[in-house]
Chains A and B, each alone.
Chain A
């Protein structure tokens, strides 16, 4: 009899992703669903999706979800988590959402040490609106609002918000990963899992920044785009742990 070795996670709805071929969102959604399943928290998880390509994340993730205005996901999540500390609350945000219009909410939630899990997808452009410059866009990178390439002195420098967040006293765990190869995907899943565990142990603010490709707006094939993430984007935003202040829970320091 055939043995089933691969199946759809319970936390992932049976819907076809609307994301473009080669887009990181589909992979990250699946990883999220797998982690939620493995931790056995599907029935007490609440997600807050962003404005952007992943605005419809609730069509795929089979957990309770509440919408947030652009950039405000962490504030909405804060309200949910403070009222129901027994729930596991995550946000799912892009770079424009988290690091431009939502900068203040992000920084202050980290500083307050809000017990939340933040999935931060960095693809260097505003995907859904058609590929405009994002705070994370690399110097020289062509976007629809930097047709000649991003000029740092005119358009601003690439913003590494995760590094800033690592400085916040309330942040506990911040790691940057990628979803461009099986090796990186496995690492990303581990990081997501840890970011949920940090919340479940009540330790504080946890964020995983995931470098992801947007082949459509980069005007590259999926393979070229993945290569670009690893060879170019990751030099500006180096992968690895940016902060790990987690501790093994003990009786007097849970």
Chain B
């Protein structure tokens, strides 16, 4: 397969198109503008595809909601402040069990913050983000090639479980150019037929897609039904990467861009003879708690490294309990730590 050098935002857009995505609505926000720009050009050549530059993030996510109701694979993308605005629609789609893919190319916050890469939206992404106690699957790619596989997987997961899936990247990943290769495009006509879509009540009873349920008893059952779905996902869909864990005494837990930096740091300290390894969650929700807990029993300590002030560390601590001490190193605000800096932290803990 031919490799091509591509920027992360473009990779997501191309992978989405090849996954059969035929509806995109978005609103400009840095650092992910290249994604809608690419989409607008790519979709112009596809007669069955729609690109809309919406008047707001709210309109964009709600257009995606409507598109999803027809069964079309639909996505939107944004960056942190824009994702906050989309949470209303994401909550509704969770309630209506509508599939969609939402890419968040994270930047510094809170508020307008800045446009530098961070991981400050981990809580927002993994805790549902909007109102009403729901979950979204959260995928955290760490390379150009993984942007391809996880973007395409995001659409499959969204359809399988009928829910929004968040692709959680950051400004660095969106801008960075790497060689990638793509699988052959999927023809939307070949995708499994969805039996629940709004298509006009021809030869069947009229359908309703709604989140409203005024009867508390029925609403409770609907909430439990979602929980059962979330439990299934937790059992079957956790994903992570292990790197040099066999003999590791210290394991660094990091995701996305931070994991790449961490890998560099692990290589460095290995060069000095220190047995460190990397555990990289690929699904942030569901969090790979069980494998991490098993691992914790055979190592001396864990270092959580994030480009924020400590968010995933809560999931790590919940996973390992008292089995292993958990340390933290983080840099918020868009400061990109170097492998040298992280290696120093590891060395400090191991010596």
List A residues at the B interface (Cβ < 8 Å). Answer: 42-46, 48, 55-56, 58, 61-69, 72, 75-84, 87, 104-105, 107-108
Interface check B202, CB cutoff 8 A? yes
Q: Collect the chain A residues with CB atoms within 8 Å of residue B324's CB.
A: none
Q: Are B50 and A82 in contact (CB under 8 A)?
A: yes
* Bound CA span A166–B64, Å: 27
Q: Collect the chain A residues with CB atoms within 8 Å of residue B56's CB.
A: 104-105
Q: Are B66 and A67 in contact (CB under 8 A)?
A: no
Q: Collect the chain B residues with CB atoms within 8 Å of residue A77's CB.
A: 66
Partner of B62, one of A56, A58, A105, A107: A105
Measured between C-beta atoms, what is the minimum distance from B59 to chain A in Å?
4
Known: A44-B202, A69-B89, A79-B74. A105 touches B55 (CB 8 A): yes
Partner of A80, one of B198, B201, B211, B212: B198
Known: A83-B50, A83-B67. A58 touches B208 (CB 8 A): yes
Q: Are A79 and B65 in contact (CB under 8 A)?
A: yes
**Range for the number of chain B residues in contact with chain A:** 35 or more
* Bound CA span A77–B92, Å: 15
Partner of A78, one of B66, B72, B96, B200: B66
Q: Collect the chain B residues with CB atoms within 8 Å of residue A42's CB.
A: 201
Partner of A69, one of B62, B64, B68: B62
Top 10 A-B pairs ranked by shortest CB distance?
A79-B66, A75-B62, A67-B210, A108-B55, A44-B200, A79-B67, A76-B66, A43-B202, A72-B62, A79-B63
Q: Which of B279-306 touch A at CB < 8 Å? A: none
* Bound CA span A44–B74, Å: 21
Interface check B336, CB cutoff 8 A? no
Q: Are B199 and A69 in contact (CB under 8 A)?
A: no
Known: A43-B201, A79-B66, A82-B52. A66 touches B210 (CB 8 A): yes
Measured between C-beta atoms, what is the minimum distance from A128 to chain B in Å?
12
Chain A to chain B contacts (Cβ below 8 Å), 28 pairs: A46-B69, A46-B199, A58-B210, A63-B201, A64-B198, A65-B206, A66-B208, A67-B92, A67-B209, A67-B211, A72-B62, A72-B89, A75-B59, A77-B66, A78-B66, A79-B63, A79-B64, A79-B74, A80-B66, A82-B63, A83-B22, A83-B74, A84-B70, A104-B58, A105-B59, A107-B55, A108-B54, A108-B59
* Bound CA span A225–B68, Å: 41
Q: Are B59 and A80 in contact (CB under 8 A)?
A: no
For A62, give the chain B residue with the smallest CB separation.
B206
Q: Collect the chain A residues with CB atoms within 8 Å of residue B206's CB.
A: 58, 61-65
For B69, give the chain A residue with the smallest CB separation.
A66
Q: Are A62 and B201 in contact (CB under 8 A)?
A: yes
* Bound CA span A166–B202, Å: 34
Q: Are B212 and A66 in contact (CB under 8 A)?
A: no
Q: Which of B37-59 touch A at CB < 8 Å? A: 50, 52, 54-56, 58-59
Q: Collect the chain A residues with CB atoms within 8 Å of residue B211's CB.
A: 67
* Bound CA span A62–B208, Å: 10
Interface check B88, CB cutoff 8 A? yes
Q: Are B212 and A46 in contact (CB under 8 A)?
A: no
* Bound CA span A101–B184, Å: 43
Q: Collect the chain B residues with CB atoms within 8 Å of residue A48's CB.
A: 66
For A49, give the chain B residue with the smallest CB separation.
B210
- Contacts beyond the supplied A46-B200, A83-B66: 11 A-B pairs with Cβ under 8 Å: A64-B198, A65-B208, A65-B210, A66-B198, A66-B208, A68-B62, A77-B66, A78-B52, A78-B59, A78-B63, A84-B70
For A51, give the chain B residue with the smallest CB separation.
B212
* Bound CA span A77–B69, Å: 10
Q: Collect the chain A residues with CB atoms within 8 Å of residue B23's CB.
A: 79, 82-83
Known: A79-B68, A87-B200. A66 touches B209 (CB 8 A): yes
Q: Collect the chain B residues with CB atoms within 8 Å of residue A69's CB.
A: 62, 88-89, 92
Measured between C-beta atoms, what is the minimum distance from A36 to chain B in Å?
11
* Bound CA span A75–B212, Å: 18
Measured between C-beta atoms, what is the minimum distance from A60 to chain B in Å?
11
Q: Are B210 and A80 in contact (CB under 8 A)?
A: no
Measured between C-beta atoms, what is the minimum distance from A193 to chain B in Å?
19
A-contact bits for B21-42, CB 8 A (1 contact / 0 none)? 0110100000000000000000
Interface check B228, CB cutoff 8 A? no
Measured between C-beta atoms, what is the minimum distance from A196 to chain B in Å?
14
Measured between C-beta atoms, what is the minimum distance from A78 to chain B in Å?
5
Interface check B207, CB cutoff 8 A? yes
Q: Are B92 and A64 in contact (CB under 8 A)?
A: no
For A105, give the chain B residue with the smallest CB separation.
B59
A-contact bits for B203-218, CB 8 A (1 contact / 0 none)? 1001111111000000
Q: Collect the chain A residues with CB atoms within 8 Å of residue B199's CB.
A: 46, 64, 84, 87
Q: Collect the chain B residues with CB atoms within 8 Å of residue A45's CB.
A: 200
Q: Collect the chain B residues with CB atoms within 8 Å of residue A78's CB.
A: 52, 59, 63, 66
Q: Collect the chain A residues with CB atoms within 8 Å of residue B198's CB.
A: 46, 64-66, 80, 87
Q: Collect the chain A residues with CB atoms within 8 Å of residue B88's CB.
A: 69, 72
For A63, give the chain B residue with the smallest CB separation.
B206
Measured between C-beta atoms, what is the minimum distance from A73 to chain B in Å?
8
Q: Collect the chain B residues with CB atoms within 8 Å of residue A81's CB.
A: 66
A-contact bits for B163-199, CB 8 A (1 contact / 0 none)? 0000000000000000000000000000000000011
* Bound CA span A217–B306, Å: 54
* Bound CA span A72–B203, Å: 29
- Which of B52, B63, B72 gathers the greatest number of chain A CB atoms within 10 Å? B63
Q: Are B63 and A75 in contact (CB under 8 A)?
A: yes
* Bound CA span A65–B96, Å: 12
